[in-house]
Structure 1
Amino acid sequence: MRESYLPDEVKAHLSYLQKSIANSRLLFVRNQLTSGKDSHSFFIAYASHDDPCLYEIQIDDYTQLLSIDLSAIQSEVFSLQHRLVNERLILICTNGKRDPCCSKWGLPTYNAVASNREIFVMQTSHVGGHRFAANMICLPHGIYYGRVAPDDAIAIVRNYQDGNIHLNNYRGRAIYPGVAQAADYYLRDQTNDMRLDAYQLESISDIGAGNWEVIFSNKISGKTYRLQLVAELSAQTIYESCSTPDDLKPIKKFRLIQSTEDASRD
């Protein structure tokens, strides 16, 4: 944001909002439809588990952002004042300034998705994890995918539009911490249940020595799933950036130790 052309007072306001709203993230987005427009769109994605939503606010001047109260996003007043977007928004990181991997792999994937006029897709600034380029975010649910090839991109988007996870490229949900993202992946791999709303995260427990217990529940069956994982560094090393191919680092990962299924509460 520091390098953007936003007025200083708007930068300060958005920076304050980021700090005051837990787990929030600011991204700059664009597509071929935004070029040359006098107005701007400000999107707000609320990636809750039960009621995710996406708003679009049209502004003529960036200073209008100063009057938006994001703390009221969950209120009925907010939903009445601003346009709720029924479409699902696909973001693909193409920010080569942050890391050349993102433009090298992100642009072809973006172009593949943008060629389908039925998909609402935009290029975005850096989303993190450039070693996973091309990175895709599906809003409003905050679903992250990595290493998305152009040939696979449309299928991933279609799965999301149908309410399902595409497991092969799944990085996790933005609302989950890393260990829960890993547990979510392992659970879906075991059960083959890819519905977006199949599982509810119940708890995360640090049980010592790098071990974690993550508990999910299935709202339909009432079953509870307990997964024990351990955090470790792999023997494999990778380069973290296209610009530093000689800087190899080990991968931090969560390995599944055991998974148990409790009977339904009926």
Structure 2
Amino acid sequence: MTTAGVPGKAAKGCEHPPGCHTGELPVHASATVGARFWLLIEHSGPWASHLEDCDLPEEIHTLIKRATSLGIRPQLIRRPGRRTPGGDGIHVMVADSTAAEPWLAEGVVDDPDDLDLEALRAGVVPKSCILVSEPVFLVCTHAKRNACCARIGLPLARSLADVWPDRVWETSHVGGDRYAANLVCLPHGLYYGSMSQAAALAAVDAYRSGEVILDRFRGRAGIPEPLQAAEHFVRAHTGELSVGGVAAESSRSEGAATEAIVRGSGTRFRVVVEPMTLPTPCGTACADTITTYRLVTLDRLTPVRYATPALT
């Protein structure tokens, strides 16, 4: 077997049987917990299975190492369908998904020292970057990591780029190969999985309007999975779809169950969720099982009478 679009080295992946990557299995509460701050680095590839093994300029390896050491999520990105070298310098984008108002900035640096990643980690726009108002959409196409990401992600990235050519990028592994094709919306770090072209177009349109679509919505990165689940169930219960309209305020765990207080639609809810495991139709290729969360209880508490900071 050869990786889609990359001859030679075989990659992990499934044969895409019926029910696999189609949205029939639940994807909620599966966004990458550790992705709170982002560093996107343009590099046309090819990409090895893991970033540290990629044949990259030393400057890019240095940026990746620094970002990782600071808890910043590094991603390689490239324009869909293009494998041409970039221009002078290193094109980067940085994002803070944890801020009260998440932000995205971009710039070109000649040297790793020109990019102040400590500032990013502190929630400050690095001096070498400029804030941008338009969102960015990442589609995982990391063939060497998982063949499904290339087979399903590549055509999806290209179709989205036909509509938004300047805002869509192919990207390296974002977490959750079993949910390919994966779409990430920045700066908020919203994850979608098992995406079809129609579902992706709808998700992008919704995000550009400040909303989420619950169908195939994996959750918001940087938030513990049980709280992603609690927010999901409050959205489903209230119909609140605005990006900032639902937020977990506090939580506690007892055994496997998690109890969270979640604000949504002007009301607080007490939500209890617990994990559950489901088999996948993919066998052992992408994953034998997936872990998701089921709703135990959801109780309405009191109206929200004052602003409370969202849990990030």
TM-score range, shorter chain: 0.7 to 0.9
Q: Alpha-carbon deviation of 1:257?
A: 0.4
TM-score computed with the length of structure 1 as normaliser: 0.86
Over 3 Å counting, the alpha-carbon distance change for 1:171 and 1:76 in structure 2 is closer
Return the offset for 1:80: 5.3
1:217 to 241, 251, 263: 263
CA deviations on 1:85-109 (whole Å, 9 max, x unpaired) are 1110000001111110001110111
Which residue does the alignment assign to 1:38?
87
Query: Contact conserved, 1:41 with 1:56, CA < 8 A, in 2?
Result: yes
Task: Summarize deviations over 1:174-215 as a string: whole Å, max 9, x none.
Answer: 02111111111111111111000102221121122x111122
Find 1:101's aligned residue among 148, 159, 168: 148
Asked whether 1:175 is paired with 2:218, we answer no
Q: How does 1:1-266 map to 2 (within 5 A)?
A: 1-8=51-58, 10-21=60-71, 24-31=72-79, 35-39=84-88, 40-48=90-98, 50-59=100-109, 61=110, 64-73=111-120, 78=125, 81-117=128-164, 120-208=167-255, 210-218=256-264, 221=266, 223-234=267-278, 236-239=279-282, 244-245=284-285, 249-266=288-305
Distance 1:10 1:251, change over 3 A: closer
**Mapped partners of 2:144, 2:287: distance in 1:** 21
- Tell me the amino acid that sits aligned with residue 224 of structure 1: R
CA deviation after TM superposition for structure 1 residue 140, in Å: 0.3
**Aligned residue pair count:** 253
Uncovered stretches (5+) of structure 1, i.e. residues with no partner: none
Task: Give the Å deviation of 1:70.
Answer: 1.4
Q: Which moved more, 1:137-146 or 1:114-123?
A: 114-123
State the alpha-carbon separation in 2 of the partners of residues 203 and 141 from structure 1.
Answer: 20
Q: Do the aligned partners of residues 7 and 119 (structure 1) sit closer, same or farther apart at CA in structure 2, a change above 3 Å counting?
A: closer
1-side partners of 2:189 and 2:62: how far apart?
A: 25
Following TM superposition, by how much is the alpha carbon of 1:145 offset from its aligned partner in structure 2, in angstroms?
A: 0.2
Instruction: Report the alpha carbon displacement of residue 6 of structure 1 after superposing the two structures with TM.
Output: 3.0
Supply the RMSD in Å over aligned alpha carbons. Answer: 2.4
**Percent identity at matched positions?**
29
Aligned position for 2:30: none
Q: Deviation at 1:7?
A: 3.9
CA drift at 1:118: 6.0
Taking structure 2 as the reference length, what is the TM-score of the superposition?
0.74
- Specify which structure has the higher proportion of helix: 1
CA distance in 2, matches of 1:93, 1:124: 5
Asked if the contact 1:10–1:66 (Cα under 8 Å) also holds between the matched residues in 2, the reply is: no
- Provide the C-alpha distance between the structure 1 equivalents of 2:107 and 2:287, rounded to a whole number of angstroms: 43
CA displacement at 1:119 relative to structure 2: 5.7
CA distance in structure 2 between the partners assigned to 1:265 and 1:46 by the alignment: 27
CA distance in 2: counterparts of 1:54 and 1:82, whole angstroms: 9
Q: CA separation in 2, counterparts of 1:157 and 1:119? A: 13
**How far does residue 143 in structure 1 lie from its aligned partner after superposition?**
0.2
Q: CA deviation at 1:49?
A: 5.0
Question: Match of 2:157, SS?
Answer: helix
Q: Is 2:273–2:293's contact at 8 Å kept on the other side of the alignment? A: yes
- Does the residue aligned with 1:11 lie in a helix, a strand or coil? helix
Question: Residue 303 of structure 2 aligns to which amino acid in structure 1?
Answer: S
Greater RCO (CA < 8 Å, at least 6 residues apart): 2
Structure 2 CA distance for partners of 1:251 and 1:34, relative to 1, 3 Å: closer
Q: CA deviation at 1:16?
A: 3.4
Q: CA deviation at 1:28?
A: 0.3
- Deviation of 1:239 after TM superposition, in Å, equals 3.0
